[in-house]
Amino acid sequence: MRAEGSNAATPRRPPPMQPLGGLRYGLMLLLVLLALGALTGRIVYLHVIDRTFLQGQGDARTLRVDPIPAHRGMITDRNGEPLAISTPVVTLWANPQELPPDDIQRLMLARALEVDLDEFNSRVSRYAEREFMFLRRQMTPEAAQRILDLGLPGVYAQNEYKRYYPSGEVTAQLLGVTNVDDQGQEGLELAYQPYLSGTPGQRRVLKDRKGRLVRDLHMLREARPGGDLVLSIDQRLQYMAYRELKAAVAEHGADGGSLVMMDALTGEVLAMANQPSYNPNNRAGLDPRGLRNQAIVDVFEPGSVMKPLAMAAILESGQFDRDIVVDTSPGWMRIDRFTIRDIRNYGELDLAGILEKSSNIGMSKLVLALDDPLVADKYRALGFGQSTETGFPGEATGSLPAPVRWSRSQWAALSYGYGLSVSALQLASAYTALANGGVRQSPSLLKLDEPPVGTPAIDPQVAHDLLRILEESVQGRRAGVTGYRVAGKTGTVRKSSSSGYMENAYRSVFAGIAPVSDPRIVTVVMIDHPRGEEYYGGAVAAPVFSRVTGNALRLLDVPPDQRLSP
């Protein structure tokens, strides 16, 4: 019996385990075991079965394929003298994430690079999230090594090539330039880029995690250097022509000028000079006008230098007797709404006199008497209005309007060199037909292995007769060359603008051939807008022809053909 008033409690039992908690525990344990099993299986698979995967991943972080730059081909003159060469240089680059953070080492690097520390730090900050930035490109190996010898982390070197032009401004517009990546940008460097550039090579190397070379493993592909380009230019003649042209432009305060000298027999361009020019080795303060190879890419109305070529069409027509006399009085004539003038009244002139006096009236009357557009056809046969096919970038074709419903004044203007546009190179090529027995030679900027056939453009006898007439027209004048017989024609052309012909703005032109007994060279000189009292072609361009041609004939060892007075 319980004592009365007793309140002793019965002991409590723990609550039974819930079935859901045990199931959760087992499920989690199973998942962990499965994950461990999958991980173990993957490790076994990669290390035993598919070992190449991990090996490839490891190699990707240590093996590299480094490019090997190809040596750009050399450009030489016809005698093997270098005009453009590639020299080895070093480009320094950095990994901004590896550069030292302290100011002392940064200051050492900035001073070695010759830059301000603040500017350098600012640039590093801009590239902080990247792994590459240029420090300085195309340094000499000696200068780059002095920086590498500082032993600063994150600074690396890359071997490259830089183009150098020994002749500087003398051949600048002809050769053109390359950019910082050694790719052609102008001139022949651009025209022959695939040939000159070559094919870069590749090599497999072993590098550490910082990109430093550990071992050179093997060559994948050897670099193939670019081909060498041999030009038709004779460097001796080029220097001399450039010097004379530059002096003439300065003497007459002209805007510029061009000179082309061609081999009369082959069409090879022996010299091609332009003003203004620039130094391709130092392009600071470059005048954009100096980039243009005016002799090829610029055109102008040629003026009276076209008269011998128009006269060729007149003589070949058979419509005039060789002894015909033309009355040019009173020194002017009205055609349509225009007035054509000579410098003065020359009266009656035969064909030779018309060329010698450069009579616009005489040429106009002869051309207007022709039945067919023979002058325009002759100009086309001589290459005007067409590409010279030199392959030079931006080469001009000029303009020769089609003779459709032309007015009489347009026909007349064509005979004395107005109403069409030509380049200096086209003009020189046309004059090879007078020098070469009627056969025109297309211009070539490359040295030719064999003389080309050429294109018959003028009757041989007509070409012979015109050459003798042009010889007589320059005798005793400023185009003469001591010891040599020369032939040529002057031209003085008004410059045109969008509003018409300009007042007191001219181009002075001379086209000549030498020596007459056995023509070797054809030279065209154009001086753009000479300022001063003298602006006629005979006073400005002809003396340049005389000096350049005389020196060229002597440099080429051409024997004199002029009988000198005892």
Show which residues are catalytic.
304
Contact 93, 133 (CB under 8 A): yes
3-state secondary structure of 143: helix
Would you say the C-alpha torsion 463, 399, 524, 445 has a positive or negative sign? negative
3-state secondary structure of 159: strand
**DSSP letter, residue 16:** P
How open is the CA angle 251-252-257, to the nearest 5 degrees? 100
Amino acid identity, position 491:
G
CA 273 and chain centroid, separation = 13
Q: Judging by DSSP bridges, how do beta strands 133-139 and 256-263 pair with one another?
A: unpaired
**DSSP letter, residue 49:** I
Distance CA 423, CA 445 (A): 15
Side-chain-side CA neighbours of 199 within 13 Å: the count stands at: 6
Q: Give the per-residue SS3 of 303-317.
A: HHHHHHHHHHHHHHC
**Read out DSSP for 388-442?**
-----TT----B----SS--HHHHHHHHTT-S-BB-HHHHHHHHHHHHTTTEE--
Q: 236, 237, 250: which is closest to 530 by C-alpha?
A: 250
Distance CA 70, CA 110 (A): 31
Helix ranges, 204-332 (H)? 235-251, 294-297, 307-316
Helix ranges, 317-392 (H)? 351-357, 360-368, 374-381
Q: 315, 364, 262: which is closest to 467 by C-alpha?
A: 315
Alpha-carbon distance values, 70 to 65, 87, 199, 202 (Å): 16, 12, 6, 10
Torsion angles phi and psi, residue 308, rounded to 5 = -60, -35
| Residues facing residue 202 across a β-bridge | 67, 221
Amino acid identity, position 175:
L
Distance CA 408, CA 392 (A): 36
Provide the greatest CA pair distance for the chain.
176
Token pair listed for 224: 């193939």
Contact 469, 350 (CB under 8 A): no
How open is the CA angle 451-524-82, to the nearest 5 degrees? 60
Token pair listed for 386: 């067409």
Q: Judging by DSSP bridges, how do beta strands 201-207 and 155-164 pair with one another?
A: unpaired
